[in-house]
Amino acid sequence: MELSTKTKIGDLLDAYPFLLEYLVKQSPKFSKLENPFLRKTVASFASVSKAAALGGLDPDDFLAGIAVEIFRKSNDSVTLVNSGGRAEQARGVSREERIEAFKGIVMRLHGGESLDSLRQEFHALLKDVSPAEVGAMEQRLVAEGIPESEIKKLCNLHVELFTADADKPELPLLPDGHPIRTFQAENALAEEKATNLSTILGGVRDELGYSGARNALKNGVADLAAIIRHYERKENQLFPIMEAHGLTAPPQVMWEIHDDIRAMFKKAQACLESSQHAPAAEAVSELVLAVRDMVFKEERILFPMVFEAFSEEDWRKVRRGEAEIGFAWVDPGDAWLPAGGTTAGGGAAGLIPLDCGRMEPEVINALLKHLPVDMTFVGPDDRVQYFSQTDERIFPRSEGIIGREVSKCHPPKSVHMVEEILARFKSGERDTAEFWIELGGRFIHIRYFAVRREGRYLGCLEVSQDVTAIRALKGQQRLLDWK
């Protein structure tokens, strides 16, 4: 039998099932292969070199160990092919050395060096690592205090890296309703809509042509804007579980890019209100490129990363909370929807004594859902304990944020404000904080309250309310009017 670092782990397990026990002994990371679902999916496309990177093992030593185990258990002779190729070149570079080199590249970018000058060095450093290890390296840098905004500058090089390697594996075809399958379907439509916008824009040569195409461009941008819901689902469903697996840096880096794209949508829509061709064309072109780049980052970096890291139960948790956020163009309905999802209510379990009165839990839950405000409660450990499930939420929330650090629930650029509010609440210096913003033509009032009982800090309550209609009220209405 011939083996190389490109041999698929799935093929090895099919031929030699006893290797499963051997693999699990080599690294705790391989215990996921004990799950039949992951064994049939992840293992089917993961090569020996990728598995070695995931397990933090030297690929050549890992390959040689597999060969010895096969011979020992089956007596089959094994020939190692090309074991001295790319793997040998990487032999002298440990993971710690790669991380230090990666950090050096980031700091040189921060110091003003151009991406072009660092491109070759970046590719040589990371050509043999998986998306998961790139994420782990980013995580290490953030832990050392490197800002996500600096790491974000490398995203285009990440894309180049995984584009240039034709051997990069594709994910297996997942069942309808699986979260990745839905994300992929939305990405396919985003590509189609972005291409359509580019086609319209490509036909515009002057101000006259722009005048005739402006409505089509407006409609196209408005249609493409549904991809923001896709990003919100990532932020609320994928990112919390990534953080639970120790992958906290990649979500923060990607969230910054989400915010950049949101700003590009606003800029493009504002430019399209003008009759000037050049700024509108530039804004739409920039937006289309950013959306398509994000599609590629997800398909070739993010999805393989989370597919390797998540358990089947993780995916079921993601699936249970998706409907709370919503979908971009694609609704999977009940496909792959697991039974037994958690709900905020729970059954009746006797009356709960309150300061004034007693109510059943289901009544308290219904009452909270009927309040004309969105509420989120963060406990004294700064983790989300509750959010109200109103019919029309202002900001998306899902089950995935329960237990999540509240700082991870906000865009990186606003985290410092959240941390300052919580610090002042805990110190007793402040009891309230408030903001008001205009969002999509609506006026939103946002307030934070320190929740205390007999002087003891219990947590922070965030209350958001759409007060557009309230601000528009005039005069008075003293009689009942059902109109």
Is pTM beyond 0.75? Reply is no
Could you tell me whether strands 357-359 and 352-354 are parallel, antiparallel, or unpaired per DSSP bridges? antiparallel
Which of 57, 373, 314 is closest to 47 using CA atoms?
A: 57
Could you tell me whether strands 442-453 and 432-439 are parallel, antiparallel, or unpaired per DSSP bridges? antiparallel
pLDDT score recorded for residue 414: 85
Residue with tokens 């900001």: 395
Which amino acid belongs to residue 179?
Answer: P
Q: Measured between alpha carbons, how far is 381 from 385 in angstroms, rounded to an integer?
A: 10
- CA angle 349/352/354 to nearest 5° reads 170
How does 107-122 read in b/e, with b if 16+ C-beta sit within 10 Å? eebeeeeeeeebeeeb
Count of all residues that appear for the chain in the document:
483
CA contacts within 13 A on the Cβ side of 184: 18
pLDDT score recorded for residue 88: 33
Which of 406, 396, 402, 410 is closest to 322 using CA atoms?
A: 396
**Diameter over CA atoms, the chain:** 92
Under 8 Å between Cβ of 4 and 48? yes
- CA angle 444/450/453 to nearest 5° reads 140
pLDDT score recorded for residue 160: 54
pLDDT score recorded for residue 215: 95
- What sign results for the dihedral spanned by CA atoms 346, 348, 349, 350? positive
Under 8 Å between Cβ of 39 and 49? no
**Cα dist from 372 to 160, 439, 445, whole Å:** 48, 17, 12
**C-beta neighbour count of 315 within 10 angstroms:** 22
SS3 of 232-300: the string is HHHHHHHHHHHHHCCCCHHHHHHHHHHHHHHHHHHHHHHHCCCCCHHHHHHHHHHHHHHHHHHHHHHHH
pLDDT score recorded for residue 421: 95
Side-by-side strand order, sheet with 432-439: 384-387, 374-378, 456-466, 442-453, 432-439
- Going by C-beta distance under 8 Å and a sequence separation of 6 or more, which residues neighbour residue 97? none
pLDDT score recorded for residue 136: 61
- Going by C-beta distance under 8 Å and a sequence separation of 6 or more, which residues neighbour residue 309? 132, 242, 245, 247
pLDDT score recorded for residue 237: 92
Per-residue pLDDT 10s for the chain (483 aa) are 678 888 888 888 888 888 888 888 888 878 878 877 667 666 667 788 888 888 888 787 788 778 877 877 776 766 666 544 333 333 344 556 666 777 677 777 667 777 666 666 666 666 555 555 566 666 666 667 777 676 666 665 555 554 544 444 568 889 999 999 999 999 999 999 998 998 898 888 888 989 999 999 999 999 999 999 999 999 999 999 998 888 877 888 889 899 999 999 999 999 999 989 889 999 999 999 889 888 988 988 889 889 888 998 999 999 988 988 999 999 999 999 887 544 333 444 578 888 888 899 889 989 998 999 999 999 999 999 999 888 777 888 888 888 989 988 888 888 889 999 999 999 999 999 999 999 888 999 999 999 999 899 999 999 999 999 999 999 888 888 776
pLDDT score recorded for residue 460: 96
CA contacts within 13 A on the Cβ side of 471: 11
Which amino acid belongs to residue 85?
Answer: G
Torsion, CA 85, CA 90, CA 92, CA 96, rounded to 10: -170
Alpha helix (H) ranges present in 355-482? 361-370, 415-427, 468-472
pLDDT score recorded for residue 342: 41
**C-beta neighbour count of 139 within 10 angstroms:** 22
